[in-house]
Structure formats: structure tokens, C-alpha cells
Amino acid sequence: MSTHSSPPAATPAVGRWQRLRDSYLWYSFKRDRGAQLCLATLLALVGMALLAPWLAPTDPYDLAQIDILASELPPFWIEGSDPAYSLGTDAQGRDLWSIILYGTRVSLLIGFGAVLLQALLGVVFGLLAGYLGGRVDALLMRLADIQLSFSTLMVAIVVGAVVKATLGGSFYSDYAILMLILIIGLAEWPQYARTVRASVLAEKRKEYVDAAKVMGLKSRRIMFRHVLPNTLSPIFVISTVQIANAIISEAALSFLGLGMPETHPSLGSLIKAGFDYLQSGAWWITLIPGAFLVVLVLSINLLGDWLRDVMNPRLYKG
């Protein structure tokens, strides 16, 4: 199902919407209640995260607004709760609802950022490997093989640990978002590179590439302008799963103390901070952020599953 893109000048933005509405993707989306529910949940969570400064009753980063005496208050449906804190408070007396809003924001930012970096690296390397072949291909794919054989989470943990030890804890905490994007991005690029390479190998043999070559176009132009657009659908599909993975990886790193500091928490570091108070009965500090994390990841994963079924691209199998 490779549709040739029409000349951009002739069809303005309206035409693009029209094309989406005519597509099979939109058709199956309209018929699938599950997919609609997932997208709605995801959009709601993303919206909440984006609007956190306006939605949150308190600013959890502002020390002046934190009341240590109000710490470990339970959520509203349990006796002893305070109506000012709908989901209760954490051990430092921060409003759990506010800190979850901000935490979701951090988790999503890192997830999307890391996937953007992975995609950038993976697409460039995958294109080069697939299109050029030969030694470049062998070198890049061997590198990808080695890295994948170690599992991305392991690579991320080791790199995170080493970077943290090299730069010192406080520096690492200050630039934690950037660091995590870099670490998770570097740890997972082989997934993209393999997928892109597999589709490039299939596309390379088609006539339009030969035609472009005969016309005397440069390799770079053929790669990025002709081959790349036709490999986009598998990239699209694995991106959903990769975002879910990146969010989980970030949470895992934060849980191990290699991620976001507690003063600027993501969902993962909220779970870590709350875990210490689980035995004292304050389960909500760890399990409510956990529930948000699971709902976020689950909705992305289910959307990814649906997308894969609909688009059914030739995904590269191990």
C-alpha cells in the first residue's frame, strides 16, 4: 500500500485532512472502540501534563508552598484526608495530584525526547547501512547486534551509572532530563536502525530507485527524499512501542536513583520516593503515581498494537 505523494503545491492543508479521512487508518479507527478509548486516555494524560502549571492546585517545585506538617495525608476516599489535597500528600507534604501532574510532564518529555533522538540516530544509521551496504552496513549492524544483545535497559543502567559517577551526583541531577534523553536515546537506537534498514533493503530494489539513479540524482537525495518516505510506516509503528519503552526505562532508571532527583520528580522517582513509606501503610504515595504510569504506558502500548494490526508493515523480526 504505497501511495505516491502528490505534488505539495497543488494540495494545501485541507487536502491532507481529506486524505486522512479517506484513509483506511481513519476508517478502522472509527470502528474500533478500544483504540478510541486509548487515544482519548493518552490525549487526556498529555493534556494534563502540558497544562500542569494551570491545573495543579500547588506548585510542587516551590518550597514555600510545601507544608511538612501535612505529610502522608491519605487520598480523599480514606478517612483522615484533607479536602485541600484530593489525592493526599507525599512524605514531604507535597500535594500528590500536583506532583503527579508535573511528574507526568517530566516522564512524557523524556519519553518523547529520547524517542526523537533514537529515531534520528536510527534512521540515519539504518538508511546508510541499508542503502550503502558493504562495510558500512556490516560495521553498523554489528554494533547494533552487540548493543541489542545486552538489552537496552542494561546499557542504559550502565551508561547512567558511569555518567553519574564521572560527572558527580549534583551535576547529574541538575541536567537529569538531558542526561536521561541522551542515555535512553543512545541505548535504543538499534531498534530503529534495524527496522529502517530492513525496509530500505526492500525499497532499494524497486524501479523508482533505479529511475532516480538513471536520472543522475545524488545518493543522499535518493536516500532521504525518495527511499525514506516509503519506510515511514514501520518507523511510525515502532515509535509508539518505543515511547512506551522509553517511559518505562526512564522510570526504571529513576527508581534505581539514576534518574530524576526527588526535588524534580518523574513518575518513576515518585514511585521510588513512596516505596520507603509502603511498610508504614502510606501506600498511595507509591501506588497512585504507579497507576498513572501504568495507564500511560498501557494506552500507548494498546495504540501501538492496534496501529501494527492496521498498518501491518513488514516489521523486522529478530
Partner 1 sequence: MIAFLTKRLMHALLVMFIISVIAFAIQDNLGDPIQQMVGQSVPESEREALREQFGLNDPFHVQYLRFAGNALSGDFGTSYFYREPALEVIARHLPATLELVFGATLLIVLLSVPIGVYSAIKPRALLSRFFMGASIIGISIPVFLTAILLIQVFSIGISVSLFPESTAWGAWLNGLLSTDGGMPSFGRGQDLVPVVGHWETNLASLGGLKHLVLPSVALASIMLPLFIRLIRAEMMEVLQSEYVKFARAKGIGVRRIYFLHALKNTMLPVITVGGVQIGTMVAYTILTETVFQWPGMGLMFLDAINRADIPLIVAYLMIVGVIFVVTNTLVDLIYGLVNPTVKLTGKPA
> For binding to partner 1 (CB under 8 A), which residues are involved?
138, 146, 148-151, 153-154, 157-158, 161-162, 164-166, 244, 248, 251-252, 255-258, 268, 271, 275, 278-279, 281, 283, 286-287, 290, 293-294, 297-298, 301-302, 305, 318
Phi, psi at residue 95, to the nearest 5°? -65, 120
The runs of H, that is alpha helices, within 96-227 are 96-132, 134-149, 152-167, 169-174, 176-204, 207-214, 219-221
Taking the least distance from each CB to partner 1, the nearer of 155 and 227 is 155
Cα distances (angstroms) measured from residue 191 to each of 25, 221, 236, 291: 24, 24, 13, 28
As measured in angstroms, the least distance from the Cβ of 266 to partner 1 is: 12
Least distance in angstroms from the C-beta of 264 to partner 1: 20
Q: How far is the CB of 279 from partner 1 (least distance, A)?
A: 7
Give the nearest distance from C-beta 173 to partner 1 in angstroms.
Answer: 14
CA distance 51 to 53: 6
Angle 17-18-21 from CA coordinates, rounded to 5°: 90
**Closest separation between CB of residue 248 and partner 1, Å?**
5
Cα(197)–Cα(204) distance, integer angstroms = 10
Q: CB nearer to partner 1: give 56 or 141.
A: 141
Q: Please, which residue, 131 or 255, has the CB nearer to partner 1?
A: 255
Nearer to partner 1, 18 or 280 (CB): 280
Nearer to partner 1, 232 or 298 (CB): 298
Smallest distance, Å, CB 229 to partner 1? 27
Give me the residues paired with residue 89 across strands: 95
Burial class (CB in 10 A: 0-12, 13-18, 19+), 158: middle
Nearer to partner 1, 38 or 123 (CB): 38
Rank residues 25 and 143 by Cβ distance to partner 1 and give the closer one.
143
Q: Closest separation between CB of residue 286 and partner 1, Å?
A: 6
Rounded to a whole number of angstroms, the minimum distance from the CB of residue 114 to partner 1 is 16
Cα separation, 107 vs 177, whole angstroms: 9
Residue 222 or 313 having the CB closest to partner 1? 313
Smaller CB separation from partner 1, 147 or 199: 147
CB 222 within 8 Å of CB 209: yes
Neighbours of 69 (CB within 10 A): 7
- The region that residue 312 occupies, defined by phi over 0 for left and psi between -120 and 50 for alpha, beta otherwise, is left
Q: State how far the Cα of 124 lies from the Cα of 244, in Å rounded to an integer.
A: 22
Query: Which of the 8 DSSP states describes residue 257?
Result: T
In the complex, the smallest distance separating the C-beta of residue 93 from partner 1, rounded to whole angstroms, is 22
Distance, in Å, from the CA atom of 115 to the CA atom of 247, rounded to the nearest integer, reads 10
